[in-house]
C-alpha cells in the first residue's frame, strides 16, 4: 500500500521510465554461490557481538561483495513522533563510502519509493530523478533497493548501486539483498532489545537506589523522631511523679494525674516502638542472655499491663508451672516480648473480655546435671477480642501493619510492636505464630523458645525506690527536664543541684561534691564526654559515679567505664533505672 506522501515520487519515476523492477525477472539469472553466501553469513553472525556501527558496516560490506556492486549502504529511518522522518545512510561501502551520514527524504528518495511499494525496486539512473543523490560524484546506472522490515514500520532500506553500464542487477541479487535485509531486521531488533534492556536495567537500578535512599531517610526520620520525642517526655513523667507525691491527700487530683500518667506511658511505649523498629531495621537491637527465673519474667510482664487490665475490667488468667523454671535469656527483652503481646491483647479486647496466659515448660531440676541442651518453653496468649482478618494475618509481623478495625477500635499504636517481637524471638532462636478465626473471633499467639536450662537462680528482689539520701548533680541543657527530675529526687530526700551546661556544672562542683552526676551527652558547646573527662580530673569528684543520659540505645553499665562514664541510662530514665543506679 502506497503512503500518500510518496505518490508524487512514485508517479514521477514511473512516468520517466526509471522504475525498471520488472527487468529483474527478465534478465538472465546467474547461479547462486551458496558457499560464498554461507561464509559471509557466518561472518555476519560473528558481527552481532560487535558494536552496532561495526555490525552494520559488516552488512554493507557483505552486500557489496555478494552483489559485485560499486556502492552499498543502509538507510535507517530517523525522526517521527512530531518531527518529519528522514533516512540516514548509517553505513556505506564502496565508492560512496565518504557519504556515510548523508540524509535523504523519507518519501522523495529511492528508499521511500521501495518502502511505499513494500517490495524491492530497481531504478535506472536514479540520480536524474532524485535530487537527494546529487552529492554522488559518479554516475549511478542502476540502484537496487530492498526494504528492511520492522515493526510497526520498516527500519529503512538496504541498497546497492552500479556505476558501470555493463553491470546489471538480477533476481539473484534481489534474493541476496532480501536475505541480508531480513538479517538486518533481526540484528537491529536484537540491538534495540539490548538497548531497551540496558535502559530498563539502569532505570531499575536508579529506582532501587532511590527506594533504598527513601528507606534510609525514613529510618533516620523515625530514629530522630523517637529520640526527639523522648526529650519532652522525660520532664513530663518526672513532673507527674512529683505532682502525685505533692497531691497525696487529694483523691480528685490523683485521679486526674493517673489519667495523664497512663497517657504518658502510652506515649513512651509508642516512642520505644519507634526506636526499637529503627534498631531492628539496622540489626542493632541486641539481646544479652543470662540465667533468670521464668516466673519473675512473666510476673513483670503481667505487672506492666495490670493497670490497663483493671481499668478495662478484663479477666486475666495466667497459668504458670508450679515449679521454678530457669531460662537462659535476656530477661528485659523477654519481658518486653510478653508484655507487648499482652498489651496487644488488652488493647484489642473489649471491656470485660477474657485473656489467658498459659506457660508450659519442663522443670529445670529434672534436666540432667551435665546436659546443656536447652529445652523448649511454650507461652500461649489467647483473647476473645477483635481478632485479625485473614488477609492481614500473613503481614501481621510487617512494620506498620494494622487492620482498619484495629486502628479504629484501639487506643494508639503504630503497628510496630509485633515486628520487634518477632525480631527478639528470633534472636532467642525461637518462633512466634499468630492465629485468628477472623475479625471479632479473638486471637491466639504462641511463643516457642528453646531457653530452659538446668540452673539454680534466686528470685529477683522486689523493686523499690527507697534508697539512702544522696548528693546529686543534674546536667542537661533542657531546663524543664532537670527541673522536673530535680523536684522528684528532692521529694525523695536527695540534695540536688542543677546545671544547664558543662561550665556551669564545673562551677557547681567547686563547692558541691556530688555522689552521683547525671549528665546529658548531647549538649551544645561542651558535650557530656568532655564534661565527664574534666570532672574525673578533679580530686573532689574522684568517688562520684558519672551516669550518662542518652537518647540512643545503651543500657546501664554497658559502657564499662569508657569515655569517663560509669554507666549509661536511656532518656528518659525510669524511676527503677534511677533507683538501681543510686543504690550503687
Q: What structural domains and CATH numbers belong to the chain?
A: 4-196 (3.30.450.40), 286-452 (3.30.565.10), 471-582 (3.40.50.2300)
Q: Which has the minimum average pLDDT: 187-201, 246-260, 287-301, 371-385?
A: 246-260
Tell me 29's DSSP state: P
Q: For residue 432, is pLDDT > 50?
A: yes
DSSP readout, 351-376?
Answer: TT-EEEEEEE---GGGS-TT--PPEE
Locate 191 and state its grid cell. 540491538
What mean pLDDT do residues 194-223 have? Answer: 82
Pairwise pLDDT comparison (199 vs 493), residue with the higher score: 199
- Residue 359's pLDDT band, with cuts at 50, 70 and 90, is very high
Output the pLDDT for position 222: 66
* 12-15: long-range pairs with CB below 8 Å, 24+: 12/129, 13/113, 13/123, 13/126, 13/129
What mean pLDDT do residues 251-278 have? Answer: 72
Output the pLDDT for position 574: 65
- Residue 299's pLDDT band, with cuts at 50, 70 and 90, is confident
- Residue 138's pLDDT band, with cuts at 50, 70 and 90, is very high
Output the pLDDT for position 534: 92
What mean pLDDT do residues 260-269 have? Answer: 69
Output the pLDDT for position 561: 45
Residue 496: name the closest of 412, 578, 382 by CA: 578
Locate 407 and state its grid cell. 486502628
Q: Can you tell me the distance from the alpha carbon of 584 to that of 110, in angstroms, rounded to the nearest whole number?
A: 98
Looking up cell 555490525 gives 55
Residue 305: name the closest of 229, 246, 379, 381 by CA: 381
* Average pLDDT taken over every residue of the chain: 82
Specify whether the CB–CB gap between 3 and 105 falls below 8 A: no
DSSP readout, 469-512?
Answer: --EEEEE-S-HHHHHHHHHHHHHTT-EEEEESSHHHHHHHTTT-
Kindly tell me the sign of the dihedral angle through the C-alpha atoms of 271, 272, 273, 275. Answer: positive
Q: Can you tell me the distance from the alpha carbon of 354 to that of 361, in angstroms, rounded to the nearest whole number?
A: 23
Output the pLDDT for position 141: 96
The listed range with the strongest mean pLDDT (80-89, 267-276, 427-436) is 427-436
Locate 55 and state its grid cell. 555490525
Each residue's pLDDT tens digit, 103-117: 999 889 999 999 999
Specify whether the CB–CB gap between 241 and 233 falls below 8 A: no
Q: Can you tell me the distance from the alpha carbon of 385 to that of 443, in angstroms, rounded to the nearest whole number?
A: 7
Q: Can you tell me the distance from the alpha carbon of 357 to that of 305, in angstroms, rounded to the nearest whole number?
A: 13
Q: Which has the minimum average pLDDT: 77-91, 172-186, 396-410?
A: 396-410
Each residue's pLDDT tens digit, 146-161: 999 988 889 999 999 9
Q: Which has the minimum average pLDDT: 193-207, 350-364, 416-430?
A: 416-430
Locate 78 and state its grid cell. 530517523
Output the pLDDT for position 72: 96
Q: Which has the minimum average pLDDT: 70-79, 97-106, 284-293, 510-519?
A: 284-293
Tell me 170's DSSP state: -
Q: Can you tell me the distance from the alpha carbon of 291 to that of 425, in angstroms, rounded to the nearest whole number?
A: 17
CA trace torsion 233, 234, 236, 238 (10° rounding):
150
Q: Can you tell me the distance from the alpha carbon of 412 to that of 266, in angstroms, rounded to the nearest whole number?
A: 8
Q: For residue 429, is pLDDT > 60?
A: yes
Q: Can you tell me the distance from the alpha carbon of 42 to that of 94, in angstroms, rounded to the nearest whole number?
A: 21
Q: Can you tell me the distance from the alpha carbon of 135 to that of 139, in angstroms, rounded to the nearest whole number?
A: 11
Output the pLDDT for position 226: 66
What mean pLDDT do residues 222-249 have? Answer: 74
Q: Can you tell me the distance from the alpha carbon of 236 to that of 250, in angstroms, rounded to the nearest whole number?
A: 20
Q: How far is CA 176 from the centre of its chain?
A: 55
Quick check: pTM over 0.75? no
Q: For residue 136, is pLDDT > 50?
A: yes
Q: Which has the minimum average pLDDT: 277-286, 374-383, 480-489?
A: 277-286
CA distances from 204 to 149, 194, 208, 211, 215 (A): 31, 15, 6, 10, 16
Length of the chain: 584
Side-chain half-sphere CA neighbours of 172 within 13 A: 13
Q: Which has the minimum average pLDDT: 129-133, 414-418, 437-441?
A: 414-418
- What is the 3-state secondary structure of 94-163? ECCHHHCCCEEECCCCHHHHHHHHCCCEEEECHHHCCHHHCCCCCCCCEEEEEEECCCCCCCEEEEEEEC
Specify the 3-state DSSP secondary structure of 379: strand
Q: Can you tell me the distance from the alpha carbon of 558 to that of 424, in angstroms, rounded to the nearest whole number?
A: 19
Each residue's pLDDT tens digit, 522-567: 888 899 999 999 998 888 888 899 999 876 644 433 344 456 788 8
Side-chain half-sphere CA neighbours of 497 within 13 A: 18
Q: For residue 402, is pLDDT > 70?
A: no
Q: For residue 389, is pLDDT > 50?
A: yes
Output the pLDDT for position 458: 55
Share of the chain above pLDDT 90, in %: 34
Output the pLDDT for position 493: 81
Tell me 277's DSSP state: H
Amino acid at each position: 500500500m502506497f503512503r500518500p506522501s510518496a505518490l508524487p515520487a512514485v508517479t514521477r519515476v514511473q512516468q520517466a521510465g526509471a522504475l525498471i523492477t520488472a527487468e529483474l525477472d527478465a534478465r538472465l539469472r546467474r547461479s547462486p554461490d551458496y558457499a560464498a553466501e554461507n561464509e559471509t553469513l557466518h561472518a555476519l553472525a560473528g558481527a552481532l557481538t560487535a558494536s552496532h556501527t561495526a555490525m552494520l558496516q559488516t552488512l554493507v560490506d557483505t552486500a557489496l561483495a555478494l552483489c559485485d556492486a560499486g556502492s552499498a549502504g543502509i538507510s535507517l529511518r530517523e525522526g517521527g513522533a512530531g518531527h518529519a522522518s528522514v533516512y540516514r545512510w548509517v553505513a556505506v561501502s564502496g565508492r560512496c563510502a565518504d557519504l556515510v551520514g548523508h540524509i535523504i527524504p523519507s518519501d522523495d528518495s529511492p528508499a521511500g519509493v521501495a518502502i511505499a511499494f513494500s517490495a524491492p525496486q530497481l531504478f535506472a539512473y536514479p540520480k536524474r530523478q532524485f535530487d537527494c543523490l546529487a552529492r554522488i560524484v559518479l554516475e549511478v546506472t542502476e540502484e537496487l533497493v530492498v526494504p528492511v522490515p520492522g515493526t510497526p514500520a520498516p527500519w529503512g532500506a538496504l541498497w546497492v548501486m552500479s556505476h558501470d553500464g555493463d553491470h546489471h542487477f538480477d533476481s539473484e541479487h534481489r534474493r541476496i539483498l532480501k536475505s541480508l535485509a531480513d538479517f538486518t531486521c533481526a540484528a537491529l531488533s536484537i540491538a534495540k532489545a539490548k538497548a531497551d534492556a540496558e535502559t530498563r536495567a539502569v532505570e531499575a537500578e536508579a529506582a532501587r537506589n532511590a527506594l533504598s535512599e527513601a528507606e534510609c531517610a525514613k529510618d533516620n526520620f523515625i530514629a530522630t523522631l523517637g529520640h526527639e520525642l523522648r526529650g519532652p517526655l522525660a520532664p513530663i513523667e518526672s513532673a507527674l511523679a512529683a505532682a502525685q507525691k505533692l497531691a497525696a491527700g487529694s483523691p480528685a487530683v490523683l485521679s486526674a494525674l493517673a489519667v495523664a500518667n497512663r497517657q504518658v506511658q502510652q506515649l513512651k511505649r509508642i516512642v520505644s516502638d519507634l526506636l526499637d523498629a529503627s534498631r531492628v531495621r539496622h540489626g542493632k537491637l541486641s539481646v544479652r542472655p543470662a540465667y533468670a527465673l521464668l516466673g519473675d519474667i512473666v510476673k513483670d510482664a503481667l505487672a506492666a499491663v495490670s493497670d490497663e487490665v483493671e481499668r478495662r475490667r478484663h479477666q486475666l488468667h495466667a497459668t504458670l508451672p508450679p515449679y521454678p523454671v530457669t531460662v537462659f535469656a535476656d530477661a528485659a527483652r523477654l519481658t518486653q516480648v510478653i508484655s507487648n503481646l499482652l498489651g496487644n491483647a488488652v488493647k484489642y479486647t473489649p471491656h470485660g473480655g477474657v485473656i489467658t496466659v498459659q506457660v508450659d515448660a519442663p522443670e529445670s531440676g529434672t534436666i540432667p546435671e551435665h546436659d546443656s541442651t536447652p529445652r523448649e518453653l511454650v507461652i500461649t496468649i489467647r483473647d476473645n477480642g477483635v481478632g485479625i482478618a485473614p488477609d492481614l494475618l500473613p503481614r501481621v509481623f510487617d512494620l506498620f501493619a494494622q487492620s482498619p478495625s484495629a486502628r479504629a477500635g484501639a487506643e494508639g499504636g503504630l503497628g510496630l510492636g509485633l515486628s520487634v517481637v518477632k525480631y527478639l524471638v528470633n534472636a532467642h532462636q525461637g518462633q512466634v505464630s499468630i492465629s485468628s478465626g477472623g475479625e471479632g473471633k479473638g486471637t491466639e499467639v504462641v511463643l516457642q523458645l528453646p531457653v530452659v536450662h538446668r540452673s539454680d537462680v534466686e528470685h529477683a528482689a522486689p523493686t523499690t525506690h527507697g534508697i539512702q539520701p544522696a548528693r546529686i548533680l543534674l546536667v542537661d541543657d533542657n531546663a524543664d527536664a532537670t527541673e522536673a527530675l530535680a523536684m522528684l529526687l528532692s521529694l525523695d530526700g536527695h540534695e540536688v543541684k542543677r546545671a544547664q551546661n558543662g561550665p556551669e556544672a564545673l562551677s557547681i562542683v567547686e563547692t558541691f561534691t556530688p555522689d552521683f552526676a547525671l549528665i546529658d551527652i548531647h549538649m551544645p558547646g561542651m558535650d557530656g564526654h568532655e564534661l565527664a573527662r574534666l570532672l574525673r580530673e578533679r580530686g573532689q569528684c574522684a568517688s562520684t559515679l558519672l551516669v550518662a543520659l542518652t537518647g540512643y540505645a545503651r543500657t546501664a553499665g554497658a559502657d564499662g567505664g569508657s569515655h569517663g562514664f560509669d554507666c549509661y541510662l536511656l532518656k528518659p530514665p525510669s524511676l527503677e533505672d534511677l533507683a538501681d543506679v543510686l543504690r550503687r
